[in-house]
Amino acid sequence: MLWRMKTALSELARRTAAPPISWLIATALARPKLISLAAGFTDDASLPARAVRDSMHEVLRSPKAGRAALQYGTTAGDPRLRELTAAWLRRLDRAPAARKEYAADRVLITGGSQQLLYLAAEALCDPGDIVLVEDPTYFVFLGIVQSRGLRARGVRMERDGLDLAHLKQVLDSLRRSGQLRRVKLLYLVSYFQNPTGITTSFAKKAAALKLLKQYERAAGHPLYLLEDAAYRELRFAGADEPSALAAPGFANRVLYAGTYSKPFATGLRVGFGVLPEPLLTAVTRIKGNHDFGTANLLQQTLARAIASGRYEKHLGELQKRYAHKAAVMRVALEKYFPKEVQWDDAHGGLYFWARLPRGVKTGVKSRLFRAALAADVLYVPGLLCYADDPARAKPDNEMRLSFGSASEANIREGIRRLGMVLKKFLPPV
Ligand SMILES: Cc1ncc(COP(=O)(O)O)c(C=O)c1O
């Protein structure tokens, strides 16, 4: 009898699809002449090598302190870094020192904010549960949703963020269909959203929390707002919006995910969460099983960088640099893109989001995408940023363009090449 070997992989492992971005990165690496406006990488030329070296040197200078940094730390993170992180958030949100929502003991240091997003999903959601996401949203979060067997519902966006009327519609329809009990959280990339660049106003975040609260009785449990503030510090125009933690009376429903990647050094892979109980305990325990703590040496290096003022100095320079790179992309878009393509100016973050006329497809299988590749320029197709939501078809006429990692010359040339390709695909007016 023939004996067939079965896979030993878990359901989760079998379900987990290859991240779409790995294909995009592999494509970029395989074509040396290709200009990638797809990568979400940060600006290479300004990475703070000296600030990190000096900070790490200070950590390791004395053998005693050096040995402490080379030992395991606690799962929750380096106490000094947790203090400094809490103080930074209080400053950004103009919150009084006494507010317990901003206490250092609510801060959990994680392996990038990506780990916090994963842990939050792991702590709150079982397979089949539903997360509400922006339409479109950060595609790596959609990877977590897919891998963990969760379902997603998209909520439309407006110029100032989430469309609250649509959020209500979605919640109502889930209630009607008896699925509200499966809803656990609303995931919001609230500052210079990846991919659209949109910032959700504080008023809207507070209103979304109020709305979620009204559905808790029907859901039978708390409904959380997971606020992903990965790009908050990368503002180069206008005033900062307070985080959802500042919404009076709702902080026990907010999970705030922040990072030191984008504003300082992506390679350190240090991020953080601010969490209410009982989530803080649950997430810390699960993190303990993952890694029992983010790299201590890197946390202490970061704490030195912040305490010495190097972090803020670097951030100031970085904001100017991204303002410049965004301006380079804006000028190129004005010059080279056909007028039928719509896009909004960037005030922070790393992205422009371009909307083509309906019917002009941008997906990886589209003729336009292949023509762009042939012209040696890569973008992120908008399609990848939409959740599998049975309530609507995914738009397929958008693209994300990043000014993060490409040089100024490559931004100009990349947009010029893409503009040439677009002109061939847009119907004449
Ligand atoms: C919206 C968003 N959230 C979270 C992350 C994760 O970043 P990190 O893990 O480096 O903090 C990214 C990275 O690109 C992102 O774009």
Report which of residues 406 and 97 the model is more confident about. Answer: 406
pLDDT for the residue 18: 87
Q: How confident is the model at residue 429 (pLDDT cuts 50, 70, 90)?
A: low
Q: Which of 14-28, 206-220, 389-403 has the lowest mean pLDDT?
A: 14-28
Q: Classify residue 235 by its DSSP letter.
A: B
**pLDDT band of 85, cuts 50, 70, 90:** very high
pLDDT tier, 39 (very low <50, low <70, confident <90, very high otherwise): confident
Q: Is the CB of 113 under 6 A from ligand 1?
A: yes
Establish whether residue 306 lines the binding site of ligand 1, counting it when its CB lies within 6 angstroms of any ligand atom.
no
- pLDDT, position 25: 75
Atom of ligand 1 nearest to the CA of 193: 1
Q: How far is the CA of 349 from the centre of ligand 1 (A)?
A: 11
| Pairing assessment for the beta strands 254-259 and 270-274 based on DSSP bridges | antiparallel
Ligand 1 centroid to 227 CA: how many Å? 12
In 337-407, where does DSSP find H-type helix? 367-374
pLDDT at 1: 61
Ligand 1 center from residue 143 Cα (angstroms): 13
CA atoms of 119 and 275, how far apart (whole Å): 11
Q: What pLDDT, on a 0 to 100 scale, did the predictor assign at position 28?
A: 74
Residue 228 CB less than 6 A away from ligand 1:
yes
Amino acid 427: pLDDT = 73
Query: How far is ligand 1, taken at its centre, from the CA of residue 46, in Å?
Result: 18
List, as one string, the DSSP characters of 295-354: -HHHHHHHHHHHHTTHHHHHHHHHHHHHHHHHHHHHHHHHHHS-TTSEE---SBSSEEEE
Q: What is the pLDDT of residue 281?
A: 98
Please give the number of the atom of ligand 1 that sits closest to the Cα of 112: 9
Distance CA(41)–CA(36), nearest Å, equals 10
Residue identifier of the C-alpha nearest atom 16 of ligand 1: 194
How far is ligand 1, taken at its centre, from the CA of residue 114, in Å? Answer: 6
CA distances 196 to 157, 352, 354, 416, Å, are: 9, 6, 8, 21
DSSP 138: -
Once rounded to an integer, what is the mean pLDDT over residues 244-264?
Answer: 96
Q: Give the tens place of pLDDT for each residue, 351-376.
A: 999 999 999 999 999 999 999 999 99
Q: From the CB of 40, is ligand 1 less than 6 Å away?
A: yes
What is the 168 CA–ligand 1 centroid distance (Å)?
27
24-33, 139-148, 290-299: least confident range: 24-33
Q: Cα angle at 406 between 39 and 380, to 5 degrees?
A: 30
Give the mean model confidence (pLDDT) for residues 88-104. Answer: 93
Q: Ligand 1 centroid vs 62 CA: distance in angstroms?
A: 34
Query: What is the mean pLDDT of the segment spanning 188-193?
Result: 98
Q: What is the pLDDT of residue 32?
A: 84
Q: Which of 198, 200, 228 to mutate to test the pocket of ligand 1 (most atoms within 8 A of CB)?
A: 228
Q: Does the pLDDT of residue 162 top 70, yes or no? A: yes
- Ligand 1: centre distance to CA 189 (Å): 10
* Residue identifier of the C-alpha nearest atom 6 of ligand 1: 114
